[in-house]
Amino acid sequence: MKQHASTLAMSYIAKATNNALRAKKTALTGVVMAAALASAPAFANLTGSIKGKVSSPEAQQSLAGITVTAKSNVMPKPRTVVTREDGSYDLPQLKPGTYELTFTDKSGVTQTMTVDVLLEQTSSLNVTMGGAKENVEVITVTGSKLFREGKSSLTNSLGEEAINSVPVGQDYRDLLKLVPGVELSANTILGPSAGGSGVDNSYGFDGVNVSMPMFGNLASEPSTHDVAYVTMDRGGAKAVGFNRSGGFSINTVSKSGTDEFHGNVEYKIQPKSFVATPVGEESYELDKSWLTASLGGPLIEDTLYFYTSYYRPEETKANKATAYGDVKDYESIRDEYFGKLTWAPTDDILINISQRISDKEVKGDSIGAYETDSVSVGSKADQDIFTLDGSWILSSATTLSFQYSKFELETGSKPDTELSVIPSLSSQIDINNLTQMGYFSVPNLREYDSEGAFTEEQIVSYNAGATALINVYGYLEDGVMKGEGGVGAYAQYDNQNFYRDSFEINLEHVFNWGETYHTLHLGAKWEEGEEQITRLSNGWGRISYLGGLVDPDADTEGFDPADAIYRAHVQQMSLATDGSSVSGINSEMRSLNFEINDTIEHGDWTYNIGLLVSQDTWYGQGLKEKSGTVSGYELAPGHKYEMYKTDWSDMLQPRLGATWNYAEQDSVFANFAIYNPEASSLARAASWDRNTRSEIELLLDDSGNILSASPRRGSSGKAFQEGMKPRRINEFTLGTTKYVGSDLVLRAHVRHRKGMHFWEDMPNNARLTDYSGVDAEGVPQHIADKGLYVDNLADIIAEIGGSSYVIAEVDGGETKYWEASIEAEYLGENSYINASYVWSHYYGNFDQDNTTTSNDANNFIGSSYYGDGRGRYSWDNRYGTLSGDKPHKVKVYGYYTVPWDANIGAYFVFQSGQAWEAWDGTQYGYASSHVSRYAEPAGSRRTASHWQLDLNYTQDFKFSGDMELQFRADLFNVFNRQTGFNKNPYAQYDNFGESRSYYNPRSLQLSVNFKF
């Protein structure tokens, strides 16, 4: 019997900090670094700042030397600076929160004001000192509460109140719906398009890059329960923060301890009866619940704060009985622990250290209608995020900061029934105990076909053996034993692990030079991402009955095909042909980045001049450098080798901008930026070891003895075209911002992005493809004239093998994006509204988001169906509207706090449908429809537009001091608008044009939250 939420939460909360900061390698590394760098620094991405100017009605009064002290409950110690000659001041490296600023002049006169600091934003606070001889204390909110000055010209930031008051959701992915001008996506893996590919967005969690190395999509596990602030940058980036995103960039910062003890216990439910029936299904079957608990406060007053939390989402489903009988229920349980320490050993030093540990396990998944309970598969996902960051205010003009982070995501499918048998080429399969050998596909009887490949005698012999197996392993239907089922255990383990280590250091210095004021930023960042993939068989893997019916084209040298009674498919990593073990495939990418940025203020003008320069290196596996060879390599299975490295000169990313404040905070701005997106799958997709990690096919006799063992065909390593330019996005932005009082800000802009230099795996002779006899124009002459991508590929293959495909720059590949936007943001005493309308057009001939049959997946970047033969080249109907194009997007969200201690939140979105086109290979000379062979210009069709409304209501009951009981209801997709998208593009299929995916149905979530 399950424990009640509060009991279970309190049993975990006591050990959450200990578990989250448990002594493991990453935490130990962090402690060592903390000791070594105690006098060094915080990642700029996790903080905000305040700047402003002090003025006086007395013209002759000196404005230099006025003391400015900032205090907040989130900062263990206050920060103090003094004003410069012109009365200006800067307070950098502040944790996001509400600050009380006290201004004290030389005569002791004080004024006190409050201001909110948001993540990655600089808040403006100007004050006029009255010059009176007696102390004057005024507590107020000054200037605009909506003033924004972030790392880009198109930035939005939200605090905890706004995030919690709007119907968002539990997952990090749900935060993306708040980004103005970005589509509401129903995808579960691929990110939303925002003027670029969904794999080119940037996702930060406490400043840690949580996108999947090699794939660019958001890791599946991050949640929102600890998110205190979020910032969203869409364009016009500065050379601050190492922004290389070809889409949008989003970052969050977690909650921290404060100078008072606070905590909560929340329990939220969504039973299956609270969800409308999804389109195409009989009913919704999942029961969901979420348990959250947290505690934070001071460990050492004014010096050391702590925050810890526990999170447990659960999903359960009663699986339907199969033809074999009852099966286990589906269950998904995740335990997540988080611990964070905030330490201020001095007024000028601030250090944060945190560890997040998430362990998820799924059981009872994927049981077919004709399978036994024992073949079910589960999965696991263990995610750890470690961060160590700190800041050191060296002087009133100079700040040093750093961050070290470690991201680990270990995932894999795991058979619910694990077999003890270990396959070996020197042993045999126990034919009398097939359910303990692997996954056995029960055969069915076959009919004789006079035109078939097998004789009547062979079919009779086959059926005799099949009948015996059906009688033992089949299922009973209408009193008759039937075959074609599955028994035994799930066939294999799939382990795909991702790792990323990152370290960055930043220096900021402010100074006056003549009549200009400069904020100089210098930064350096090292990042290394790695994927480790292994596939192991459970027992002997997949076993099937052949009954002597061997493919006539199969290699049966050395034995009679009639003796091949069984076949097994075993992963080579479990069973190598030479008896030695085969390691997994390790793929790595290393990135070095340096940036310099100067923000220059001169009168009403602010200029931004910056440069980000990068170098990316990909490492494959399976080769070793060797001089004197054609390729420069020799075969070396399991050996790491440098696959490709970009030149620094090819990755110069200037960031230029100018802002004219024509009246107070109202402005006109213009920006130019270049981005080199870093997401790429080539470290594995082009790795030489890909073709040595294949599956092995075993043919066995009627006693289970091995007759033959041969690797199945796998993908081969790929050579690279010389002189490729890295993928690049050029961006121009022009806009204006208008502040209407302190409550309302209006912003309008136009933006253009152009993408170029896309890389793909292509046949080396793609430019010479023969189109004779097909209904297509063929290769443009100026492209055909270029010839082969790699002139000596034949010599390379003769020397070390490899594929006839190469990694090449797509000829003429480009994307273009135009955007016109208007946005309004209102922040009142009891309300907040963000409203935006965006018109856009996204077009070109390279659609990274539409390269395969199922695009909502972790697909290879740089190795897809694109470019794989006629119908898939850039000149084959590819130019047109891309799948991420949404011409019209309206988004409005906000909340209102009513007088009876309740909050009403709403989220509304309207957006155009998804662009798509028909696929048909016949016009390119193929017999039928083929994946990604366009039969008409890209985006010739469009799905229906989608709109939906989400609502929530929260009621607070306060009692006994700071204790509070909160009841909440979130209703998503109120009108149950399950708009279809992801159309079936195969022109020859009966269901051509039918939707294969739909927006989520209406759902209701109820929660109770006890705060103290």
DSSP of 278-333: PTTSS----EEEEEEEEEEEEEETTTEEEEEEEEEEEEEE-PPPBTTB--PPEEEE
Cα dist from 830 to 178, 292, 898, 955, 991, whole Å: 19, 27, 8, 15, 51
Main-chain dihedrals φ then ψ at residue 562, nearest 5 degrees: -65, -20
Q: How far apart (Å, rounded) are the C-alpha atoms in residues 940 and 987? A: 13
Model confidence over 337-394: pLDDT tens digits?
Answer: 999 999 999 999 999 999 999 999 999 988 889 999 999 999 999 999 999 999 999 9
The pLDDT value recorded for residue 12 is 38
pLDDT score of 69 more than 50:
yes
Q: How far apart (Å, rounded) are the C-alpha atoms in residues 484 and 442? A: 5
Mean pLDDT of 459-476: 95
> For residue 581, how many other CB atoms are within 10 A of its CB?
10
Q: How far apart (Å, rounded) are the C-alpha atoms in residues 294 and 1011? A: 9
pLDDT score of 137 more than 80:
no
The pLDDT value recorded for residue 581 is 59
The pLDDT value recorded for residue 714 is 63
- Tell me which of 27-31, 165-169, 501-505 is least confident: 27-31
Q: How far apart (Å, rounded) are the C-alpha atoms in residues 862 and 200? A: 13
Q: How far apart (Å, rounded) are the C-alpha atoms in residues 33 and 272? A: 48
- What are the residue ranges of helices labelled H in 426-528? 456-473
Which strand (E) or helix (H) includes residue 31? helix 25-36
Amino acid identity for residue 1001 in this structure: P
Q: Where does the pLDDT of residue 11 fall: very low under 50, low under 70, confident under 90, or very high at 90 and above?
A: very low
Mean pLDDT of 723-742: 94
HSE-CB of 356 using CA atoms within 13 angstroms: 27
The strand pairing partners of 336, in sequence order, are 311, 358
pLDDT score of 2 more than 80:
no
Mean pLDDT estimate for the chain: 89
* Residue 943: both structure tokens together: 């799905």
Q: Where does the pLDDT of residue 9 fall: very low under 50, low under 70, confident under 90, or very high at 90 and above?
A: very low
Q: How far apart (Å, rounded) are the C-alpha atoms in residues 190 and 211? A: 11
Cα dist from 738 to 147, 608, 648, 822, 848, whole Å: 10, 20, 40, 11, 37
Q: Quick check: 421 and 437 in contact, CB under 8 A?
A: yes
The pLDDT value recorded for residue 56 is 79
Residue 116 DSSP SS3: strand
Mean pLDDT of 215-241: 89
Q: How far apart (Å, rounded) are the C-alpha atoms in residues 259 and 182? A: 38
Q: Where does the pLDDT of residue 32 fall: very low under 50, low under 70, confident under 90, or very high at 90 and above?
A: very low
The pLDDT value recorded for residue 148 is 63
> For residue 496, how many other CB atoms are within 10 A of its CB?
20
* Residue 41: both structure tokens together: 């620094």
Q: Quick check: 949 and 974 in contact, CB under 8 A?
A: yes
Q: Where does the pLDDT of residue 219 fall: very low under 50, low under 70, confident under 90, or very high at 90 and above?
A: confident
Which strand (E) or helix (H) includes residue 48? strand 48-55
The pLDDT value recorded for residue 464 is 95
Closest CA to 769 of 737, 811, 732: 811
- Give the residue, 147 or 749, on which the prediction is more confident: 749
Q: Where does the pLDDT of residue 893 fall: very low under 50, low under 70, confident under 90, or very high at 90 and above?
A: very high
The strand pairing partners of 102, in sequence order, are 69, 112
The pLDDT value recorded for residue 55 is 83
Cα dist from 617 to 632, 642, 647, 648, 953, whole Å: 17, 7, 10, 11, 50
pLDDT score of 1007 more than 50:
yes
> For residue 737, how many other CB atoms are within 10 A of its CB?
21
* Residue 988: both structure tokens together: 């020859």
Q: Quick check: 543 and 434 in contact, CB under 8 A?
A: yes
Q: Where does the pLDDT of residue 716 fall: very low under 50, low under 70, confident under 90, or very high at 90 and above?
A: confident
Which strand (E) or helix (H) includes residue 14? helix 5-20
Cα dist from 758 to 193, 449, 677, 754, whole Å: 17, 50, 11, 12
Residue 171 DSSP SS3: strand
Main-chain dihedrals φ then ψ at residue 43, nearest 5 degrees: -60, 125
Output the pTM of the full model: 0.89
Cα dist from 424 to 170, 486, 698, 911, whole Å: 46, 23, 11, 57
Q: How far apart (Å, rounded) are the C-alpha atoms in residues 204 and 202? A: 7
Model confidence over 546-578: pLDDT tens digits?
Answer: 999 988 767 777 888 889 999 999 988 887 555
Closest CA to 654 of 603, 730, 558, 721: 730
Mean pLDDT of 914-943: 93
The strand pairing partners of 36, in sequence order, are none
Mean pLDDT of 216-244: 90
Sign of CA dihedral 626, 628, 632, 633: negative
First to last CA, the chain: 28
Q: How far apart (Å, rounded) are the C-alpha atoms in residues 645 and 618? A: 6
* Residue 47: both structure tokens together: 């903080």
Q: Where does the pLDDT of residue 126 fall: very low under 50, low under 70, confident under 90, or very high at 90 and above?
A: confident
Q: Quick check: 181 and 250 in contact, CB under 8 A?
A: no
Please give the distance of CA 88 from its chain centroid, rounded to a whole number.
Answer: 40
